[in-house]
Amino acid sequence: MIKYFFFAFLLSLNLAYGEGQKISHISIQGNNRIENQTILSYLPIKVGDSADLDTNDQCLKTLFDTGYFHDVKVHREGATIVIQLEENPIINKIAYEGNDKIKDADFKKEIQLRPREVLSYAKIQAAQQRILEIYRRLGRFSAKVDPKIIRLPENRVDLVFEIEEGPTTFIRKINFIGNKTFKGSRLEKVLQSKVWHWYRFFVNDDLYDPDRFLNDQQEIKKFYNDHGHPDVRLISSIAELSPDKTAYFLTFTIDEGRKYEFGDVKINSEIKSVNIEKLKECILIEKGEEFSGAIIDKSIKALTESLGTMGYAFINIEPETLKNAETGIAEITFTIKEGPRVYIETIEIKGNDRTRDHVIRRKIRIQEGDAYNSKKIKDAEQELKDLGYFKETHVQPEEGSAIDKAKLNVDVEEQRTGELNVGVGYSTLDGPFTSLGVRERNFRGSGQTLHSNAMISKRSMGIDAGIIEPAFLDRELEGSVTASANQSKYSCSHKHNTLGTTFGLGYNLSEMWWQNLDYTIRSEKETGFNDKASAIIRNQSHNALLSMIGQTINFGKLDSRANPTKGYVLSYQTSFAGLGGTIKYLQHVWNATFYHPLFTEDVILKVSGETGMMQRMGKPIRVVDSFQMGYTNFRGFDFQGIGPRDKKTGDPLNGTRMWRQVTEIKFPSGLPDDWKINASVFNEFGCLWQPGQKDSNTQDSKKMRASFGAGILWTSPFGPIGISYAVPYRSQKYDEARRLQLQFSNIF
């Protein structure tokens, strides 16, 4: 009896709610802008479907998800579904108030809302958070954003973001706990994050950045690992925001661990044919030296390169460190294992929206079908970074279609490669000057460089334009063409005008050898001689055609081309003028430069030497074609301040023989690193003699000139500023000194 009663109850309940009843009509109410048919297309039901208990909820959720409606109500009236709607308004205008530090246009690029779109409260919240994130990137963590909706007729609204930017939140202090070996000031230099100081108004690394903070943690570990503490642990790293949100305090708690020195170093090889004795030359570790993870990595790289040249492409080198905590000695064993034989299946390039594939591929020294080589892959990533075309470059292998195959993924992120440089400045040589330069380093994604420069100063003016093709004839040849026009003023008041073109071709002979060939054709004209000018200069050819072929060959290895600290470069340059034209001479110049750190990595010794000679080919060598010495290439003396002179007029006659030697030590100035001011002391020796044409009125001497002095170089936000003061302590009475030299330029 109870069962029948329960069944009857369920049946009545089903009938009461219309469970299973077919829908005969869907009534839509309240919509003014959106058509009924459009709304019906969104619904998960249609006329003729059976309704159940979830039908109302499904309709409600679906319509809210469209983002078009502020309110939705759904109910049943028999077999009819009634939907009552309140449409979201249309955005008429978006405005920003109170934003002084960020332009409206910058917000428009970042947020998703646009005029004439349907207003969505979810989008308003997303835009509000995005604006706050923009301010956080600028270090303004106390910024506030209050969205206001101003209702207009016809269900339209103006959306106004009222912004209170707040003060900049700087890093006020960086604390280190547990550091016994190194002072906090030394560890701060390792970090990318910096403490705020009043003079750091051109940089933003004193603003808290979570990504930069994470990188700082890795840099601390690396620093300790490279300075004798392989067991270092970073117990905690905390970034605290002050209650008023105006300052950040960073705290690093460090467990330094024991300090270690290198002990014995061994090489074990599971490949019997490897010559272990020969490989020992690649080990950079010396017994008794401070433990350094960086030196271990460099030794692995040197071993890998050496084994690669021996033909071992499939090898793995695993370092094993055996540490004795009692003695503080760490013994290193490098084990050479035969790795799996893997070949490159495909190379896939992604992210190069502008740069063409072949420009990237020619920098990857490994091809499809080649044996996998980790060194070549690392070199490829570095070569792509050196191009300067990309913000980010990643070359990563992944598994291929088989166990012995690998895919090479090259992911790049393009960046702007065009440059417009406008410079103004002053130097004690040229006086006030201004310059304009335009350069495109990746023209139309082809890798070509187009450049043009113009400069005008008290002493000279000129313009040049050219193109550089890094893969001339689709080979590893760097071809270039440059056209130029210049006018220079000399001490005897005459002007030297030139108009010409230079063609160049450069190529690598090997990893350490580079050669460049060039050909120059140029017309030259000298005008404006005064009556007091040297007779030697006035009687030389004033209209000439130069047709010259030359070559430069370089040998060496530097740790950095832009800012070398270790290594050497040797070069030999020769030029032959006389391949047609009216100017004839043969010129040779030898140069050697060495860099080596002293005491610390920040103190760099630079020693350079140069010597040259010119030989006449039938005609006397003109003054303008001869070597010049002074000012730019010999501090302490004026421009053309050293060398032969006319006794009567004092005009410089330059020379066909020269030598010069410079010893310079560059070191930190002692001022805060953020100022980017370095200092140097130097000593220069040299001589210039034997003019191209000599008579009885010529003063000439082979005696050495010498000067010593000091200088500073400020890499300022306005451009490099260099000041040097040199004192000549060996000179001839007719030489012209200039002790103070100033160089300043501005690029913006």
* pLDDT, tens digit (0-9, with 9 covering 90-100), for 514-557: 999 999 999 998 877 777 778 888 887 778 999 999 999 999 98
Residues 116 and 187 occupy one common structural domain: no
At 37 the pLDDT is 83
Q: Tell me whether residue 330 is in a domain.
A: yes
Report CA dihedral (345, 350, 356, 360) to the nearest 10 degrees.
-60
Which residue has 């230079």 as its token pair?
Answer: 502
Q: Tell me whether residue 469 is in a domain.
A: no
Cα–Cα distances (Å) from 517 to 439, 550, 586, in that order, read 23, 6, 15
At 634 the pLDDT is 94
Amino acid at 224: Y
At 499 the pLDDT is 95
Residues 568 and 714 occupy one common structural domain: yes
Give strand pairing partners of 290: 261
**How many domains would you assign to the chain?**
6
User: The tokens of 366 are what?
Assistant: 């490994």
Note whether 181 and 220 are within 8 A (CB).
no
Q: Are strands 247-255 and 315-324 parallel, antiparallel or unpaired?
A: unpaired
Orientation angle between helical segments 293-309 and 374-387, nearest 10 degrees: 110
| 3 state DSSP class of 262 | strand
Q: Tell me whether residue 215 is in a domain.
A: yes
Average pLDDT over all residues of the chain: 85
| 3 state DSSP class of 277 | helix
Predicted confidence band at 490 (pLDDT cuts at 50, 70, 90)? low
Check pLDDT > 50 for residue 747. no
Task: Give the mean model confidence (pLDDT) for residues 695-721.
Answer: 86
Task: Give the mean model confidence (pLDDT) for residues 18-39.
Answer: 77
- Domain limits at 365? 343-411
State the CATH number of the domain containing residue 660: 2.40.160.50
- Mean pLDDT is highest, among 101-110, 265-274, 352-361, 651-660, for 651-660
Between residues 304 and 465, which one has the greater pLDDT?
465
State the CATH number of the domain containing residue 137: 3.10.20.310
- For residue 378, give the DSSP letter: H
User: Distance between CA atoms of 684 and 731, rounded to whole angstroms?
Assistant: 12
Task: Give the mean model confidence (pLDDT) for residues 428-437.
Answer: 75
Per-residue model confidence as pLDDT tens digits over 569-583: 999 999 999 998 999
Q: Tell me whether residue 663 is in a domain.
A: yes
At 719 the pLDDT is 63
Check pLDDT > 60 for residue 2. no
Check pLDDT > 70 for residue 438. yes
At 14 the pLDDT is 45
Residues 146 and 200 occupy one common structural domain: no
Note whether 530 and 550 are within 8 A (CB).
no
Alpha-carbon torsion (534, 536, 537, 538), positive or negative: positive
Residues 522 and 644 occupy one common structural domain: yes
Prediction pTM value? 0.65
Check pLDDT > 90 for residue 241. no
Per-residue model confidence as pLDDT tens digits over 136-170: 877 788 888 999 988 888 788 899 999 988 888 88
User: Distance between CA atoms of 444 and 450, rounded to whole angstroms?
Assistant: 10
At 378 the pLDDT is 77
At 686 the pLDDT is 97
Task: Give the mean model confidence (pLDDT) for residues 330-350.
Answer: 87
Residues 57 and 186 occupy one common structural domain: no
Note whether 559 and 567 are within 8 A (CB).
yes
Which residue has 């017309």 as its token pair?
Answer: 523
Per-residue model confidence as pLDDT tens digits over 398-419: 888 888 888 889 998 888 888 7
| 3 state DSSP class of 39 | helix
Residues 218 and 320 occupy one common structural domain: no
Per-residue model confidence as pLDDT tens digits over 47-77: 878 777 677 888 888 888 877 787 788 888 8
User: Distance between CA atoms of 251 and 621, rounded to whole angstroms?
Assistant: 69
